[in-house]
């Protein structure tokens, strides 16, 4: 019995589709007369991007229907996760531990992985053009482009300046640059981060970064300071973060909200100086970390998938673009109702998009999304906090389910925080295994 026929038997129409992965969500693709084991004519899907959304979509398309020919196009030979990369800045994770390969997608699931970049497509002819000159045929295309940084909204900086003033909001090399700068900083120096405005990738990310930079400095350069200039007046898990900061770091971390003078006005990369709008206050940094405003990734902008907000409107049941038929947009780039822009959300959305595509190819009823998001943050290596939410597709929109999920209790003892730090590591292994394993 071949690998594909075994997979067909395992994933026959008689079985429930396990849509939720680490979320544990289960749905059935009901209706339609087609049977997966019947060996219908192959259908072709091109997946743009090998991050959490794209890789999950490629894997689960093959799991849901092994007759679908899936080609994933990703410029890099591997993917560095952003989630857990702040641990690198804290000094207790090697950057290479955040690297994921596409070997299992190729070898275990039969995904064709092409190291290139999609630059154009035509939904009428079903052809996608690659930067290298090749074309790929498709019946459906899944676009998971992640984010693009809006350098035009940072006065005084361009993308080239990220070598001196890193953003570290894409995984990999940028984190190495920022880590090297922290290591080179003298004791008594100041780390300044300019946080981005909403919406942006990973809402708790800037505040976990402040925490773990403070951890590294407390252990190695204890006279140093950590300053956050924030255009917002509140942030995800704020009470838990501030409680942890006070407990672990005393007055080392200072957070300046937008209403208190935290809105970035301009930057001088050469001197690592930032000015804020309120009174044009000047902040000289030894290490300056500017995270620009964000929008959907470049290919989404170039191909007209984004609206005036900079993000991509979709049918929130199928994640099919409302601007182009047969094009599905998932992950950070998509406007997905109440869901945040996170790796776990992208993973869940990818499974729903893959299920919708398999249903469309085979004439089954489209499943109704039931999704979750879980986000762990470390304030210190052994001090974890979390937030979780459950979502349901209702009245044409993905909405958070009232009284489902929640955040870590504020009155938890240190043993609870230690457990959550362990859970954070377990979650990382589980989610990356589900995506790339």
Q: Residue by residue, what is the 3-state secondary structure of the chain?
A: CCHHHHHHHHCCCCCCECCCHHHCCCECCCCCCCCHHHCCCCEEEEEECCCHHHHHHHHHHHHHCCCEEEEEECCCCCEECCCCCHHHHHCCCCHHHHEECCHHHHHCCCCEEECCCEEEEECCCCEEEECCCCEEECCEEEECCCEEECHHHCCCCCHHHHHCCCCCCCCCHHHHHHHHHHHHCCCCCEEEEECCCCCCCCCCHHHHHHHHHHHHHHHHCCCCEEEEECCCCCCCCHHHHHHHHHHHHCCCEEEECHHHCCCEEEEECCCCEEEECHHHCEEECCEEEECCCEEECHHHHHCCCCCCCCCEEEECCCCEECCCCCEEECHHHEECCCCCCCHHHHHHHHHHHHHHHHHHHHCCCCCCCEEEEEEEEEEECCEEEEEEEEEEEECCEEEECCCCCEECCCCCCHHHHHHHHHHHHHHHHHHHHHHHC
Inform me whether the pLDDT recorded for 52 exceeds 90.
yes
User: Could you tell me the domains of the chain?
Assistant: 3-148+295-367 (3.50.50.60), 157-294 (3.50.50.60)
The better pLDDT of the pair 248, 34 is held by 248
Task: Average the pLDDT over 190-217 and give the result.
Answer: 98
Predicted local confidence at residue 55, as pLDDT: 98
Residue 72 has pLDDT above 50, yes or no: yes
- pLDDT tens, position by position, 137-182: 999 999 999 999 999 999 999 999 999 999 999 999 999 999 999 9
Model confidence pLDDT, tens digit, residues 15-49: 323 334 333 333 344 333 333 334 455 699 999 99
pLDDT at 3: 37
Range 84-104 average pLDDT? 97
């Amino acid at each position: 019995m071949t690998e594909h026929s075994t997979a067909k038997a395992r994933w026959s129409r008689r079985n429930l589709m396990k849509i939720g992965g680490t979320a544990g969500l289960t749905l059935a693709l009901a209706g339609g007369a087609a049977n997966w084991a019947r060996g219908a004519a192959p259908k072709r899907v091109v997946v743009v991007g090998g991050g959490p959304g794209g890789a999950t979509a490629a894997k689960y398309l093959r799991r849901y229907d092994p007759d679908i020919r899936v080609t994933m196009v990703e410029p890099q030979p591997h993917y560095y996760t952003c989630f857990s990369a702040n641990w690198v800045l804290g000094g207790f994770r090697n950057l290479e531990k955040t690297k994921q390969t596409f070997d299992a997608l190729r070898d275990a699931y039969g995904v064709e992985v092409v190291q290139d970049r999609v630059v154009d497509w035509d939904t009428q002819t079903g052809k996608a053009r690659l930067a290298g000159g090749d074309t790929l045929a498709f019946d459906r295309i899944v676009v998971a482009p992640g984010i693009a940084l809006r350098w035009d909204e940072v006065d005084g900086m361009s993308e080239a300046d990220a070598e001196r003033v890193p953003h570290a909001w894409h995984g990999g090399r940028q984190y190495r640059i920022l880590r090297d700068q922290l290591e080179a900083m003298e004791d008594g120096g100041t780390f300044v981060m300019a946080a981005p405005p909403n919406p942006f990738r990973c809402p708790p990310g800037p505040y976990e970064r402040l925490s773990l930079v403070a951890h590294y400095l407390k252990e190695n350069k204890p006279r140093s300071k950590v300053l956050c200039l924030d255009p917002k007046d509140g942030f995800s898990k704020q009470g838990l973060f501030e409680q942890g900061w006070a407990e672990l770091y005393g007055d080392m971390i200072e957070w300046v909200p937008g209403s208190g003078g935290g809105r970035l006005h301009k930057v001088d990369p050469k001197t690592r100086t930032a000015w804020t709008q309120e009174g044009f206050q000047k902040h000289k940094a030894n290490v300056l970390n500017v995270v620009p405003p964000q929008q959907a990734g470049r290919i989404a902008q170039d191909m007209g998938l984004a609206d005036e907000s900079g993000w991509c409107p979709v049918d929130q049941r199928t994640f099919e673009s409302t601007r182009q038929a047969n094009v599905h947009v998932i992950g950070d780039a998509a406007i997905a109702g109440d869901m945040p822009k996170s790796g776990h959300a992208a993973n869940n959305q990818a499974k729903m998009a893959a299920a919708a595509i398999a249903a469309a190819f085979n004439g089954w009823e489209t499943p109704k999304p039931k999704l979750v998001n879980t986000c762990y943050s470390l304030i210190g290596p052994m001090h974890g906090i979390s937030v979780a939410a459950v979502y349901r597709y209702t009245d044409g929109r993905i909405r958070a389910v009232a009284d489902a999920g929640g955040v870590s209790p504020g009155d938890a003892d240190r043993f609870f925080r230690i457990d959550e730090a362990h859970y954070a590591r377990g979650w990382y292994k589980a989610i990356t295994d589900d995506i790339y394993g």
